[in-house]
Structure 1
């Protein structure tokens, strides 16, 4: 009987751990995806996929793009059989620091523990390990300036700032990085939900326990 109680206790602890993972703000999936449960969006875990993906989706000029190129690049992606990627959106009513209502700003400040005026790698948040190749060069958003459609909003992980830039000015000054995001939890179909693992473990361990009882 003592062994059965021990088994059930271990099962409960294991299941609670899995369910806690399921409730986390950032959830890692296979095929290089990270799901943000707060905003219900999925990030590519590689923040420099435009360069590291090679010939399939790699981009020239050291992966730097103007706004039109970045928009087209994100829309062209098919990662793990999933298409429909886009550039992040921005809160067009917030400028400079602490723009947490933008998708990139939410990731920087709320999820990864970034601080205004500091590079993201100054943060000690363990969720940083979910991402690779975060760039010091600002990232394009898909949001244009309402008052000036020739400009688009950008966000810098080098200091947590948000501002605007001309979308298509020739030259190196306006060729920035691009980070793709997708609406919803698109990586969920690739693996069983943590709740499923938890229920399976409980069922198997309870079945084992009942068999042990019959032998007593």
Structure 2
């Protein structure tokens, strides 16, 4: 009995060791179109890794709201554009303003700076970051991010003809006219879409452990029968 418990514990240990540490951004897999769904466990949101063609703010809002994503047979249709914190337009470098650099209070800024670890054109003191250091150098598991402008879904309350956007080329947040049609879009939804499928190697190791336990059980029964005889 002790031997069986030991083998069981060993098999579980193998599975734990074979499972990578949980990252902040987790690739949950792909939908039926081959686009990745990436979970941010910091903000508890899921990104849809697809960049929609440049368009006006209204059209991008409509695109995100009309998305229906088939992920493993589950349909997710509650997508939106990323949000930001609205407020009086104040530009700066230290990340505490509504516009400018190093802002992580918007979902796009959080993705660019916090999750992907990119640097803005200027650091928090307003100093140039240096050649080759700034911009969208790190994309993580994202396959379709581009170094361009992305609309947020947040309007500017003081003037609703404007909306917030984020430029991945420099890591800067702007306020622009909703009629501008050179802004791309990335969709996001609140919450997770489910656990990732276990890695094949992990499944194989678990199978080996269980097979070993089964083999031991057969041998043990044979030994018991021989003693009875």
Q: TM-score range by the shorter chain?
A: 0.7 to 0.9
Number of paired residues? 186
TM-score by length of 2: 0.69
Give the structure with the higher percent strand: 2
- From 117, 120, 132, give the equivalent of 1:116: 120
For the pair shown, which has the larger CA radius of gyration, 1 or 2?
A: 2
Structure 2's unaligned 5+ residue stretches are: 88-97, 122-133, 221-229
Over residues 93-141 of structure 1, what are the superposed CA-to-partner deviations in whole Å (9 max), with x where a residue is unaligned?
52111111211111111111110112112x4xxxx24112222221000
Structure 1's unaligned 5+ residue stretches are: 51-62
**Aligned residue in 2 for 1:73:** 63
**Aligned residue in 2 for 1:182:** 189
2:183 aligns to what SS in structure 1?
A: coil
TM-score by length of 1: 0.73
Separation of aligned partners in 1, 2:104 and 2:62? 26
- RMSD of aligned alpha carbons: 3.3
**Aligned residue in 2 for 1:209:** 213
Question: For the structure 1 residues 206 and 8, does the alpha-carbon distance in structure 2 shift closer, same or farther, using more than 3 Å as the test?
Answer: farther
Over residues 15-71 of structure 1, what are the superposed CA-to-partner deviations in whole Å (9 max), with x where a residue is unaligned?
234262xx321111221211111111110123x2x2xxxxxxxxxxxx211110110
**Aligned residue in 1 for 2:30:** 30
- On the 8 A contact 1:88/1:181 being kept in 2, the answer is yes
Separation of aligned partners in 2, 1:177 and 1:107? 16
